Amino acid sequence: MSKSVTQTFTWLMWLVCFVVVISVACETHAAEPTDNVASALIHLTNGDYATGRFADSPGSGRLAWQSAAFLAPFEFPTQTVNTIQFPVPAKLAQPEGTYCFELAGSDMLFGAFVALQGDAAAIEVSGIGRLHVEKSLLRRMYRWQGGTELLFSGPSGLKGWATLGTAKAWREESGHLRSDQSGAILQHDLKLPTLARIEFELSWKGKPDFELALRTSNSKSALRAFRFEVWENELIVQRETEREADLTSLQPAQSGPGRVHLRAFLDQPKGQLLVFSSGGVKLADPTVTTAKPQTLGGLQLTNKSGDVRLERLSIGRWNGASRATRGTHSGIVPPARGTTAESAVAIRSDSRGDQK
């Protein structure tokens, strides 16, 4: 066999091998899961993290995690796993149901209220079926009305938020947003309506020193914002304009673990903000006008020092009628037909000790 023929045969053999390798790689890739779980992120208690997906675990007490950068999955003891975060879909499914049920832990269910059965509430949830939820875990229920009143419910991770400060000043923890960096700022253009219903829940571990402002994007007009902030171990709400100012103390804010859960109703044309506790007790009613009224369309949370966690934020339309409850209720009573979200019934039992 001539030398040229031998060389040609050798090149053909290499070409066949290359085609076989590519074919196997394509088949292997096609056999892998096609969903988006590969972009999930696992965070460990020591601060390490890695993208990947679940793999078959060898047994209880251990979690197998397959990273695209390695051939074999890692095995982590479950006690070393802090959180696993999955990507938020580009378009969230619209909840279905007559009622919204708010649970301890900031979770929410949407569905039909069936009945009270002993110490549990029977709830029919679309796509899941009938659930029996302990009354001690229910915080509130109200008519959902197809979501026409609710404009934002979150925080649902950092998507849609603008962060200012040092790198990674804000981080996601179980769907909440937390910072322990001084001067860290979190902003969102929520496009608050003229009449807005705002509900938020913040918590902290050390000495609280934060500010939550309903403001515009203009830095000058931002000085006219309604602000919830900590002054001398007190959580206050205040607003100051070129005409007048108002300040009201809402609750103590001492050093150590704590939280605040408030509902506010904003009337922008009147310059009025009604503030209620989570149990429906009226805490403040500041009315401060300005000669140049502007729509307070956005929200800004500033961690001046210490730490703060945004656990819940809900923005909705308001019909202008305040129907706050005086006191609390020991049971769960469905609102009357035609009532709106702001007339929701408060649940007395709360496993996390919110102020009522």
Phi/psi of residue 151, nearest 5 degrees: -105, -30
How many other CB atoms sit within 10 Å of the CB of residue 310? 23
pLDDT score at 259: 93
Structure token digits, residue 340: 């709106």
Is the separation of the CB atoms in 187 and 346 below 8 Å?
no
Structure token digits, residue 214: 């309903």
pLDDT score at 320: 83
Q: Reading across the β-sheet that carries 210-215, which strands appear in turn?
A: 162-164, 184-189, 298-303, 210-215, 226-231, 234-240, 245-252
Give Cβ neighbours of residue 321 (< 8 Å, ≥ 6 apart): 340, 342
Supply the pTM of this predicted model.
0.66
Alpha-helical regions (H) of the chain: 3-31
pLDDT score at 148: 63
Q: Digits of tens for pLDDT over the chain (356 positions)?
A: 454 544 544 544 554 444 444 444 444 343 344 444 447 888 888 878 888 888 888 778 888 998 888 888 888 998 888 878 777 666 666 777 788 888 876 677 888 889 888 889 999 988 788 999 998 888 888 776 656 677 888 887 888 899 987 778 998 887 789 999 999 999 999 888 999 999 999 999 999 999 999 987 665 656 788 999 999 899 999 998 888 899 999 999 999 999 999 999 999 999 999 999 988 899 999 999 887 777 888 899 999 999 999 999 989 888 887 644 433 333 333 333 333 333 333 333 333 333 33
pLDDT score at 145: 63
- Which amino acid is it at 191? K
Residue written as token pair 């292997």: 28
Residues paired with residue 266 on neighbouring β-strands, in sequence order: 196, 273
How many other CB atoms sit within 10 Å of the CB of residue 149? 19
| Interatomic CA distance for residues 280 and 328, integer angstroms | 8
